[in-house]
Structure 1
Amino acid sequence: MALQPRLDLRQAQTLVMTPQLQQAIKLLQLSNLELTAFVEQELERNPMLERDERPAESFEDRVPAEQRRDADTGVVVDQDPGRGADAPLDVEIDNSYDEGSPYEGPSYDPDTSLGSWDSAGSGGRSDFSGDERAFDETLAQSVSLRDHLIEQLELDISSPADRMVGMALIDSLDDAGWLVADLEEIADGLGTTRAHVEAVLARVQKFDPSGLFARSLKECLALQLADRNRLDPAIQCLLDHLDLLARRDYTSLMRLCRVDVDDMQDMIGEIRALDPKPAVRFGGGPAEPVVPDVLVRPGPGGDGLDGAWIIELNPDTLPRVLLNNRYYARVSRAASREDKSFITETFQTASWLVKALDQRANTILKVSTEIIRQQNRFLEIGVGGLRPLILRDIAEAVDLHESTVSRVTSNKYIATPRGVFELKYFFTQAINAADGGDAHSAEAVRHRIKALIDAESPDAILSDDTLVEILRTEGIEIARRTVAKYREGMKIPSSVQRRREKSVKGLLKTR
């Protein structure tokens, strides 16, 4: 067969991932904290971006809630005029920046022309005696666990050799405060004996907080009980049989410890009051609170019972950046050819970032509005009002792809009158109805199972089979293994363990 060149005309559909599209997808799945960090980096790197310092305008100031209510859905959406829910996500927006005048501002003094030195405008003191330190320099710094233990080591142990062993033990603690290194390895590394290391270990185990330097859960609890002078033979026997305590086999525990119901209840209460991870309180920085991306509140009626809910983006989580058109126009006129290429590239990058941020905000608001519209009953009556919902339902309603909806709902939180929830919380599987009616939400079924177990009496413990029968009478078709899976997922023990636990509590009440 002879080879010869030829021309073919073919037509095919392909998806081209442009850098702009990749950036939009990346921004869509970022949380508000990650997005803030990303925007801060872009502000430092791109001179064409400027931070918008103007105060955010509230929803009530822009438009009355009565004028924004949808009579069909009962959902009030916070949107700017000209940016409706039906507008395309890649809508062109006008990002103008006005540098203002140097003669404007509250600190300018027309009489002295020294507004920047005006003590009233700057908040300083006329006698210059104020504290000039930055605010973060005046904050108290939390003490780490290592520093806390080293301070006790220097006070309680004077021998240099013992201090060296103590430092090795301190450096061998994990995040929970347990000793993870082997004593033989520590002794070999320091050139000493195991007996020397054990002697120092016995001394540092008395440091505050109690329970540190333990090598097992039993030892950790025993150290804390000894510090409280409560390590008697009965509770020591209880620590030797923690497996029975985990199984709630209180009858066997009372026989082994040779105590009655009252003493067993007291000992269990003392065990539960202990901390199995005593070093957690010395963790890193303070826990960051969850900042919601979307806010939901009742509509004009004030209680949401009429079906009207106002949905708006949280202005505190929205990065406010502008495109500095005036600066671009000024520097591009006097720039050389090489400089103009760099300026044009940074201007286009900044323009695409602003558009991507606007697209992200519109998409989050659009998806959140549809979720609230379909889960309106949850806001009215609680978990029992959740309906089955999957990503495809929202994707079809808002004309987006399922992957886009998945990115929007990941690491995004919504604040409702019933608490702050992740958007993923509202997506639950469907449980078929026994009578062929509307399906039930899996989350609502779990809530119903927990309510039934919480209301059971010690004389009538509900088994998984009994729960299945009760749910079927309520119109919920569910299998026994599904009930067991939901129960175990909520950390609820089996009916046998609950019967043991409640029988002991019942005996306690009768005494």
Structure 2
Amino acid sequence: MARGGWAVLGQRLEIRQGQGLVITPQLQQAIKLLQLSNLELEAFVEAELERNPLLQREDAEPGEANDALPEAVEASDRTEMSFEDGRSADAADAVDARADDVYGDAAPGERTSDRMSDEAQPGLSDWSRAGSGGGAPDGEGREQPDTREATLWEHLQAQASQAGLSAADHAIALTLIDMVDEGGYLRGDLAEVADRLGVEPARVEAVLTVCHGFEPTGVMARSVPECLELQLAERNRFDPAMAVLLDNLDLLAKRDLAGLRRLCGVDAEDMAEMISELKALTPRPGAGFGGEPAQTVIPDVHVRPDPAGGWKVELNSDTLPRLIMDKRYHGVVASGARTDTEKTFVADCAAQASWLVKSLDQRAKTILKVASEIVRQQDAFLAFGVEFLRPLTLKTVADAIEMHESTVSRVTSNKYVSTPRGVFELKFFFTAAIQSSDGGALHSAEAVRHRIRSMIDGEGRDGDVLSDDRIVELLKEAGIDIARRTVAKYREALRIPSSVQRKRMLQTG
């Protein structure tokens, strides 16, 4: 309404109702707990035990803890799932579906804690800084970027993902990378790897040959002579005389130069030059990378054959912190508190202890639930070997267990599973998938990249050069539905020039 051309301004109070997710400090902390490795979690729990007098480990004999603390809360009382004939048990039976939605996976209308204020849960410590997964989240729950230096293993894994390997060969490469020590050397028996993964030793050797092309040069060698040989070959300086020298490094260590000259068939000047070339090489190619020293992997989950058929999935109880809140002691100190400061401190400790026990319990159940679904999806790999590793995405697992994809991503980070075929990180079982054009089985991205490389490698035989559009057509004829821009992305990742550049190379070559 207006009077004399002027608008009338006023204030009024309105109440509106709507749905939305507010990321509380509790949710931030629970999310951080979920993505910690078992070693990081143990360090965090130790710090909380020192800080909170109401927390203690449940180290007593069975029955003794309950007698002393009748109101104790125990975490993770159900730690097993079974699969019969490749089918999963009902998730609602295996994992308590009524457990509180700590990670915010339920629908907004089902949540009861989205809008709990900081004052409603006082005394929460800054768990967001626990572990090495990044800095503290800001007011909107976003995590600060990870600025730490990449480790050698991360560097090698990134190269393996871009090497154009098939899904099976990529899995073999990841297994070999896990066997690399801090110096960059491969420690382990290839025959044993082949037996575990259900492939021929020659195939493992072939994948290792591909890995020997990774940077830094010389990485994943099995000995010092092989490491130096790879570096010399890159410099085009590996000849028969140098091969003999590498086979007799013990004589070089003894300074038996006369014996080396006789074996290599060179004079003193050539020998001095060869030794100078060796000194310019790097005997420990992995030493230039950051990160913590390699530690023995302790699996979070065990997978064993079930006598009744299928697979049994169990949490590793050794990696589960078993904490209780001493409610009897809480009653004693609460009744003895006199000042407001003392009462606030006791209330803070009680709130944090209760939330920590609850979060650890939900963390264990979530890990079990995700690992069990992965086993269900990849049971053919466990039974028959790496060739039967299925294309699998985080979204597939998340949809199957009705969780958010980000929750599944956090669960599979820094978590390991022990299987009859070895110990693997949970992320090992995820490979990108490409839809089939006929609605059939999915194709792994690694396998498609390998097929593209094979097509282009065969171009020179008939003089024809395949454009990206033609490659798309050929892949669709083979039942692979892929976009042209995806073909271009894969080709560039494989460091293959465009069709125009390849045509010029054929004409000039």
TM-score, scaled to structure 2: 0.50
**Structure showing greater relative contact order (alpha-carbon pairs closer than 8 Å, 6 or more residues apart):** 2
Question: Which one has a bigger Cα radius of gyration?
Answer: 1
TM-score (norm 1): 0.50
